[in-house]
């Protein structure tokens, strides 16, 4: 059974600081997805990582995938308040995507 674990589950960080969210999964996969969810809203696709060593960047967020370590990271650079949301990673191996529990990020002044 595929398991996806994110940590931390809660993250409070100051504006301007850097931090990394980790996503580990239990079964070999070369597909990993990151989503963002604002309170009471739906999930918005952020990144699609489809191969080992893939790196994608959008603004202050950068995601990477290491399929050998079964690990993806979502790095936040110089956080701003607008990044406050819950971030989910998801993995699929010829099955419906399995989601992590999400990391609730709060960026404070």
Partner 1 sequence: ETGVTQTPRHLVMGMTNKKSLKCEQHLGHNAMYWYKQSAKKPLELMFVYNFKEQTENNSVPSRFSPECPNSSHLFLHLHTLQPEDSALYLCASSPPTEPSGYTFGSGTRLTVV
Identify residues 7-36 at the interface with partner 1 (CB under 8 A): 31, 33, 35
Give all strands (DSSP E) within the chain, no chain letters.
4-7, 10-14, 19-25, 32-37, 43-49, 55-58, 61-66, 71-76, 85-91, 98-99, 103-108
Torsion sign over Cα 48, 54, 57, 60: positive
- 100 touches partner 1 by CB under 8 A: yes
Q: From 21-29, 37-45, 55-63, 76-84, give the range in contact with partner 1 by CB under 8 A.
A: 37-45
Q: Which stretch binds partner 1 (CB under 8 A): 12-20, 38-46, 68-76, 77-85?
A: 38-46
CA distance 47 to 77: 16
Q: Which of 1, 69, 96, 109 binds partner 1 (CB under 8 A)?
A: 96
For partner 1, the binding residues (CB under 8 A) are 31, 33, 35, 40-45, 48, 50, 88, 90, 92, 96-102
């Amino acid at each position: 059974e595929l398991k996806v674990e994110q940590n931390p589950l809660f993250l409070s960080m100051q504006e301007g600081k850097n931090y990394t969210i980790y996503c580990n999964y239990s079964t070999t996969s070369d597909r990993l997805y990151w989503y963002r969810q604002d309170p009471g809203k739906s999930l918005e696709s952020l990144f699609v990582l489809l191969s080992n060593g893939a790196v994608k960047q959008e603004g202050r967020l950068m995601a990477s995938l290491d399929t050998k370590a079964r690990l993806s990271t979502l790095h936040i650079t110089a956080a701003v308040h607008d990044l406050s949301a819950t971030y989910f990673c998801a993995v699929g191996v010829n099955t419906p995507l399995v989601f992590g529990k999400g990391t609730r990020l709060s960026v404070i002044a």
